[in-house]
Amino acid sequence: MTPHRDFKSIIRARQLETGESYAAAYAHVRRDRDALLGQPTDDPGSAPHERVDAVVLKVSQRSARVRVLGEDQALSFHSPDVSNVVPGHVVTLIIKRRHGLAWDEAESADLDA
pLDDT in tens, the chain (113 residues): 567 788 889 989 999 998 888 888 888 888 888 788 777 665 555 556 677 888 999 998 888 888 888 888 788 877 777 888 899 989 888 776 666 554 455 555 666 64
pLDDT at residue 102 in the model = 44
End-to-end CA separation in angstroms for the chain: 51
Pairing of strands 63-68, 90-100: unpaired
58-75 burial: b if 16+ Cβ within 10 Å, else e: ebeeeebbbebeeeeeeb
pTM equals 0.51
Domain extents in the chain: 5-43, 50-112
pLDDT at residue 13 in the model = 93
2-11 burial: b if 16+ Cβ within 10 Å, else e: eeeeeeeebb
Are the C-beta atoms of 45 and 82 separated by less than 8 Å? no
pLDDT at residue 61 in the model = 86
- CATH number of 50-112, picked from 2.40.50.140, 3.40.605.10, 3.30.930.10, 2.30.40.10: 2.40.50.140
pLDDT at residue 43 in the model = 53
